Structure 1
Amino acid sequence: MIRLPLWLSLLLGAAAHAHQASEAYLVYRVEGAAVEQRLDIALLDLDRDLGLDADGDGTLSWGEVRSRWPDIEALADAGVRFTADGTACSRGERTPPQLDPHSDGMHAVLVSRWHCPAAVAELAIDYRLFAATDAAHRGLARLVGSAGEPLLLTPGAGPQRLALDSRDLGGFVVEGMAHIASGLDHVLFLVTLLLVAVWRRDGHGWAPRSSARCALAETLKLVTAFTLAHSVTLGLAASGALAPPEAAVESLIALTVLLAALDNIRPFMPGPRWLTVGLFGLVHGIGFAGPLKDLGLRGAELVLPLLGFNVGVELGQLVVVALLLPLALALRSAAVYRRAVVPGGSGAIAVLALVWCVERSLALQLPP
């Protein structure tokens, strides 16, 4: 976020009278009976209604925006009102004026804090912003901590409701299990590891492990390395401390699946496999973080969801291990496993992963 005092000499290079269909953004953070409201409004919309471009030169300077900030606040107060569980809340402090860039241009940011009579369970938003001047305008409202889609607000449509996400630790555990179940790339990566966890490297090939105990020990090392690694990056990415481009992360995840599958067919990756799996797990952890990042949580708010979600991911992985490992143990010395199951299964996974790599890296959609 860019705070306006840093913009003392900056001219905002947007045509003051140009206009297109616009959106404003509402974000609510609820902590007990306290509510924080953040409203981002496009400067172009504000200029149209308030005439911010005082000198008429077609650009907005900080001085022009700052001098009209009380009018901007008044317009926002009249255009956005909310109640908590049917009861009005009292406004407390406002934060200093701020600006933030969006894809549709620079926005004024108005943050206010409110005090409600009791702990809040649901907000009802009465949205009237630009109802008389822009029939195409819409608002997008989101509640921090809610996993649902943003609420689309039509000016003058009457109160619309945002309910707090009521999930507890168990709910986030279920969310983590659902995420691993729906993430085919993550599941197939785990499958490639389990297919040969019952084998050991023998030169440029594989040989069955001598005992089930050795196979179980290898599986434990692989799963532990993957879990520890992705837990680290999951926490960093969910908190916002690590934020690489999503397309790059998804492409790298597909690449890890491809490399692991090819290594099954003919081992080529150096060093102990658990170390490579740990490095790959760092990439997968960033991919796991998507659902938690969408909640917009910060600091201590993230602890419970992160714990529950991570436990859910691990339980989902254990289900895959419990289903596949006994079969791999029973068949590890069989010719059909060596000649058909592992090379055939790994080859199919490698082909699918290669398709993912191409699609994700080049933003293509290949025929099925």
Structure 2
Amino acid sequence: MMGRLLLFFALLCGAVLPAQAHKPSDSYLSLEVQGERIAGQWDIALRDLDFAIGLDQDGDGKLTWDEIRARHAAIAAYALERLSIATDKGACLIDTDEQLIDDHTDGAYSVLRFHVTCPSPLASLTVNYRLFADLDPQHKGLLRLVHDGVTSTAIFDPAHARQSLSLSSPDRLQQFGAYVKDGVWHIWIGYDHILFLLSLLLPAVMLGARGTPSASLRESFIDVLKVVTAFTLAHSLTLTLASLSLIALPSRWVESAIAASVVLAALNNVYPLFRGRRPLAAFVFGLIHGFGFASVLIDLGLPQGALLTSLFGFNLGVEIGQLCIVAAFLPLAFALRGTWFYRRLLTGGSVAIALVAVVWLVERAFDLKLIGA
């Protein structure tokens, strides 16, 4: 009976989690104010556009340049119907210029270049962003706005689709808060990061000092603190280095390594691979997870000043989201540690996590889709 439950759990996780285990759906909107005219560029993932309007004409699962070029008009129409820009004096007119393709850290993107003509004077802009709002409630639009050499940012989602941005005095506190919130959300929907962390935390309430079978609450807290601190230091380091473009790794390598880290962390609960060195494992693998976090900021292409503010806010949000998970986990795990359910969860649940992560690893390493999204 237990084996059937574990198999069901693994299949359920495999059906639900892989679709959201990769980098979340983002688009990158850049607006540069040039007098009464605005030069714009909008980078939208081809995989998202294919899902929305169908780019793969022959259904072979691969996108060619001819297929994308044939849908240029449809791409521009679909995107610009879901973007409006206005000033205090009225609506702005948006016209397309050209369409290209560019590679981001998580794949190929359609690059839509356009220009915006607005009634003068330009003191503020009201942007209404509705891309994929009806298809993906988790989609976010990351805006970079440049005016007189000053860069400001904003993050759009279905709950914050309409925002007013001052050109003369950008609200830095609001921008910082937006990236804190995005960091929290990024860790909460990053199931691979969560499963890695939980796999390392599951044994924390089981083994106390000198190998006793049950840890005290203090011992469990210290063990959790060591693991979380190691993971935090590591991913904060590589998040910073990658966001500042000091180190760059191919996205497929990073995503595959993250999946492999989940496999190893889970299997450690079945067979002791790390042998009491879980904090060290958290640090080593946390270095890889930091590169995964950094993809959001790398693709936005912010200048140094704006990047540092966004980087600090995003990293703070990741830590807040992580601490919320730990705060929910530790009391519950400690309360259940002596039960049959928790012992089965430690081993059987870890096996199920490892199976799900193996699917992720194969999908990412070989660019396959084993389970439909």
- How far does residue 367 in structure 1 lie from its aligned partner after superposition? 3.0
> Is residue 225 of structure 1 aligned with residue 226 of structure 2?
no
- How far does residue 168 in structure 1 lie from its aligned partner after superposition? 2.4
Q: State the partner residue of 1:185.
A: 192
Q: Distance in 1 between matches of 2:234 and 2:253?
A: 18
- How far does residue 208 in structure 1 lie from its aligned partner after superposition? 3.2
Distance change >3 Å, CA 102–CA 321, structure 1 → 2: closer
Q: Distance in 1 between matches of 2:345 and 2:245?
A: 41
Distance change >3 Å, CA 245–CA 311, structure 1 → 2: same
Q: State the partner residue of 1:353.
A: 357
Q: State the partner residue of 1:93.
A: none
Question: TM-score with structure 2 length normalisation?
Answer: 0.57
Q: Distance in 2 between matches of 1:323 and 1:84?
A: 45
Q: Distance in 2 between matches of 1:173 and 1:162?
A: 17
Alignment of 1:136-215 (within 5 A): 143-144=144-145, 145-147=153-155, 164=165, 167-200=174-207, 208-215=213-220
- How far does residue 199 in structure 1 lie from its aligned partner after superposition? 2.9
- How far does residue 190 in structure 1 lie from its aligned partner after superposition? 1.5
Alignment of 1:6-155 (within 5 A): 27-29=30-32, 120-121=124-125, 143-144=144-145, 145-147=153-155
Contact 1:201–1:267, Cα closer than 8 Å, also in 2: no
Question: Can you give the 5+ residue segments of structure 2 that lack an aligned partner in the other structure?
Answer: 1-27, 42-84, 91-100, 109-119, 128-141, 146-152
Distance change >3 Å, CA 193–CA 26, structure 1 → 2: closer
Distance change >3 Å, CA 331–CA 181, structure 1 → 2: same
Listed one character per residue, the Cα deviations across residues 115-143 of structure 1 (whole Å, up to 9, x for unaligned) are x97755469xxxxxxxxxxxxxxxxx974
Opposite residue 367 of structure 1, the aligned amino acid is: I
Distance change >3 Å, CA 240–CA 30, structure 1 → 2: farther
Contact 1:239–1:297, Cα closer than 8 Å, also in 2: no
Q: Residue 333 of structure 2: which of 328, 336, 355 is its match? A: 328
Q: Taking every aligned residue pair, what percent have the same amino acid on both sides?
A: 44
> Is residue 313 of structure 1 aligned with residue 323 of structure 2?
no
Distance change >3 Å, CA 83–CA 148, structure 1 → 2: closer
Distance change >3 Å, CA 241–CA 117, structure 1 → 2: farther
- How far does residue 284 in structure 1 lie from its aligned partner after superposition? 0.7
Opposite residue 192 of structure 2, the aligned amino acid is: D
- How far does residue 270 in structure 1 lie from its aligned partner after superposition? 5.0
How large is the RMSD of aligned CA atoms in angstroms? Answer: 4.2
Q: Distance in 1 between matches of 2:144 and 2:365?
A: 32
- How far does residue 214 in structure 1 lie from its aligned partner after superposition? 0.8
Q: Distance in 1 between matches of 2:156 and 2:341?
A: 47
- How far does residue 231 in structure 1 lie from its aligned partner after superposition? 0.7
Opposite residue 255 of structure 1, the aligned amino acid is: A
Opposite residue 180 of structure 1, the aligned amino acid is: I
Q: Distance in 2 between matches of 1:142 and 1:218?
A: 40
- How far does residue 243 in structure 1 lie from its aligned partner after superposition? 2.0
Q: Distance in 1 between matches of 2:156 and 2:325?
A: 28
- How far does residue 202 in structure 1 lie from its aligned partner after superposition? 10
User: What is the count of residue pairs matched by the alignment?
Assistant: 254
Contact 1:192–1:261, Cα closer than 8 Å, also in 2: yes
SS in structure 2 opposite 1:289? helix
- How far does residue 211 in structure 1 lie from its aligned partner after superposition? 1.3
Opposite residue 298 of structure 2, the aligned amino acid is: K
Contact 2:143–2:155, Cα closer than 8 Å, also in 1: no
Q: Distance in 2 between matches of 1:304 and 1:337?
A: 42
Q: State the partner residue of 1:11.
A: none
Q: State the partner residue of 1:157.
A: none
Q: Residue 296 of structure 1: which of 296, 301, 306 is its match? A: 301
SS in structure 2 opposite 1:296? coil
